[in-house]
Chains A and B, each alone.
Chain A
Amino acid sequence: MEVGFLGLGIMGKAMALNLLRNGFGVTVWNRTLSKCKELVEQGASVGETPAFVINKCKYTIAMLSDPSAALSVVFDKDGVLEQICSGKGYIDMSTVDADTSSKISEAITKKGGYFLEAPVSGSKKPAEDGQLVILAAGEKALYEEMIPAFNVLGKKSFFLGQVGNGAKMKLVVNMIMGSMMNALSEGLCLADRSGLKEQTLLDVLELAAIANPMFKMKGPSMIQSNYPPAFPLKHQQKDMRLALALGDENAVSMPVAAAANEAFKKARSMGLGDLDFSAVHEVVKAAKGSGEA
């Protein structure tokens, strides 16, 4: 199977490599063309523009970092819309808000193309290992046709109905994740300041009903003040912001998420945006008893 792949960042690069390794023909594009080099070495072809890739491939996957990049790739000059047409499928796996996704869907289908949103749950390592959780919505027929690719990229795929549902599901999951990261950080800081060993807290948590892979993965490096970016903090904060906006539109009360978002904002203001989202721990650690967060 041949696919186009737009966006070779932390996630896109790992996903495209995975497809190549599993026998897919892949034509890549990235805004900074030099990032395509490693993919070419592994057997990918290069497209100079998104339009070129769309023209060449029946199916094109996009993996961009935020709504504005996702829109730009579609609507700008030499973008997807210039070449999308009947018989072609566009699968946007970026994490965006539902409105952005709807906008892209409408433009694609107006030109006769098929659209599927398919944001993923999972960061760098699951992407490398083909263990993502794929939250698809939109054109069901396109979803069926993409199953062979999804089976390589992920461990489980969900089809959630109409466009927007995938985006929303992803934001809800990441909202919970952002709050959980803050809760872990508060726990580590409180344990430390109460004279307990942080590692012992992690050992207890691993046995408890609240044990989860994220605590196990991130806890030890947080204790070391080490935050290698698997999921950049600026993207986590973007997701919390979008989730809060979704709650706002629907008048849903979310005080814990709001508090968590404040911590991520503060972390961004401290210049920690490009570190892993667990770097919010630095904010919680730095807070003094005066009540500033």
Chain B
Amino acid sequence: MAISSSFCPTISISSPRRPSPFPNSCCTFATVVSSQLSKEATKSVEFQGRVGFLGLGIMGTPMAVNLLKAGCDITVWNRTKSKCDHLINLGAKYESSPTEVASSCNVTFAMLAEPESAIDVACGTNGAAKGMSPGKGYVDVSTVDGATAKLINKHIKDTGALFLEAPVSGSKKPAEDGQLIFLAAGDASLYETVAPLLDVMGKSRFYLGEVGNGAAMKLVVNMIMGSMMASFSEGLLLSEQVGLDPNVLVKVISQGAISAPMYSVKGPSMVKASYPTAFPLKHQQKDLRLALGLAESVSQPIPIAAAANELYKAAKFHGLGDQDFSAVIEALRGKLQRPEH
């Protein structure tokens, strides 16, 4: 496998808090592009190479924005073109297909909502693979099952390009704040190359070995998360039904051994039956479904996850798929109510 020597960009990351020669200026000193775009302290990076970004949904948009603000040369594509407008207004280039993005860039990221889209964007008629060639890299940060990751890997590598899967842990706010966790696997040299870009979008990254390991790790983490949210929902509902104040339950939990950021963040809005979408319920259910598939393939019974999955399915069936996954609490109520939003 040829590792092209033409693809060795000079990479450095500037500290977001380098002292400014103009004490009253609120711009970072790091790059000219960065200071034109944002007055907040942001991470910045010098990455010699063009970066493509396919998929500008809840996650893709803030991730691409962070790369742009850090000084990257970004080219975007999204199935619904209007979703590219924000990035274009910030200075991103646009191409009308994944093929064209991939062929005009050194590294192309993809952030799609489910396996079918990820496959289509990578391997479809106007897919990225058609624009790939030796020296280029494709980094799929979508959450998919292992088989999908391996399929995309094969299509990309058949072109001579490099492939990395790197699904993320973290939802909308961590994406906006550049605080994602990347669970990468695949080509180690591509991982090293894009590490500075991952560091712009995230707070930490793991290299897990062969393709499929990133997908598996993400599914395991989200399986635990789905079960925890379902259990938390049972607790909130039970406390309410036996005459306790569920807000006090949230406070009690925050003091003890099971205190988790997710509970403190979601608890108060769940008590008010409000589920503003940071992580769509339909995607949480997709992840549980894929985790159950993985578990079956390795002969591991996961009854708690299976019970939780039924609740998410029920919630989806009642039209709550686009609400935040915390809306699963509605599936436990006797009469499913329509939540306020």
A156 touches B255 (CB 8 A): yes
Min CB distance, A132 to chain B, in Å? Answer: 9
Find chain A residues with CB under 8 A from B301 CB.
284, 287-289, 291-293
Q: Which of A122, A160, A200, A256 contacts B234 (CB 8 A)?
A: A256
Choose, from A50-58, A65-73, A104-112, A174-182, the stretch at the interface: A174-182
Taken residue by residue from 225 to 253, chain B's Cβ proximity to chain A (1 for < 8 Å, 0 otherwise) reads as 10110111011011101111000110111
In Å, the complex CA distance between A180 and B257 comes to 11
Find chain A residues with CB under 8 A from B257 CB.
121-123, 126, 177, 212-214, 217
Find chain A residues with CB under 8 A from B174 CB.
209
B170 touches A208 (CB 8 A): yes
Cross-chain pair count, CB within 8 angstroms = 230
Given contacts A173-B235, A176-B253, A190-B294, contact A201 B217 (CB under 8 A): yes
The secondary-structure label for the interface of chain A is helix
Choose, from A9-17, A24-32, A35-43, A257-265, the stretch at the interface: A257-265
In Å, the complex CA distance between A131 and B328 comes to 33
Q: Which of A189, A204, A252 contacts B237 (CB 8 A)?
A: A252
A210 touches B303 (CB 8 A): no
A209 touches B238 (CB 8 A): no
In Å, the complex CA distance between A287 and B227 comes to 19
Chain B interface residue count, CB cutoff 8 Å, equals: 66
List the B residue with the shortest CB-CB distance to A243.
Answer: B238
Taken residue by residue from 285 to 325, chain B's Cβ proximity to chain A (1 for < 8 Å, 0 otherwise) reads as 00000010011101111111111101100000000000000
In Å, the complex CA distance between A289 and B311 comes to 22
Given contacts A183-B224, A209-B260, A214-B258, contact A169 B244 (CB under 8 A): yes
List the B residue with the shortest CB-CB distance to A179.
Answer: B231
Residue among A158, A182, A190, A255 having the largest count of chain B Cβ atoms under 10 Å:
A190
B258 touches A172 (CB 8 A): no
Min CB distance, B34 to chain A, in Å? Answer: 26
Find chain B residues with CB under 8 A from A254 CB.
234, 238, 332
A213 touches B298 (CB 8 A): no
Given contacts A204-B169, A256-B304, contact A173 B256 (CB under 8 A): yes
B256 touches A133 (CB 8 A): yes
In Å, the complex CA distance between A259 and B234 comes to 13
Find chain A residues with CB under 8 A from B90 CB.
none
A209 touches B170 (CB 8 A): yes
A272 CB within 8 Å of chain B = no
A186 CB within 8 Å of chain B = yes
User: When A and B form their complex, which 8 residue pairs have the shortest distance between CB atoms, in order from nearest?
Assistant: A289-B299, A179-B231, A183-B227, A193-B298, A212-B260, A214-B257, A209-B262, A259-B307
Q: Which residues of B contact A (CB under 8 A)?
A: 169-171, 174, 181, 183, 203-204, 206, 208, 213, 216-217, 220-221, 223-225, 227-228, 230-232, 234-235, 237-239, 241-244, 248-249, 251-253, 255-262, 265, 291, 294-296, 298-308, 310-311, 332-334
**A179-B230, A193-B299, A210-B221 known; 17 other A-B pairs, CB under 8 Å?**
A158-B248, A176-B258, A186-B227, A190-B295, A194-B220, A194-B294, A195-B213, A195-B216, A196-B220, A209-B265, A210-B262, A252-B234, A253-B237, A254-B238, A255-B234, A256-B231, A256-B304
19 chain-A/chain-B pairs, Cβ below 8 angstroms = A121-B252, A121-B257, A126-B257, A173-B235, A173-B249, A176-B232, A177-B258, A183-B228, A186-B304, A200-B217, A207-B169, A208-B181, A209-B265, A211-B260, A211-B261, A250-B242, A251-B334, A255-B307, A256-B304
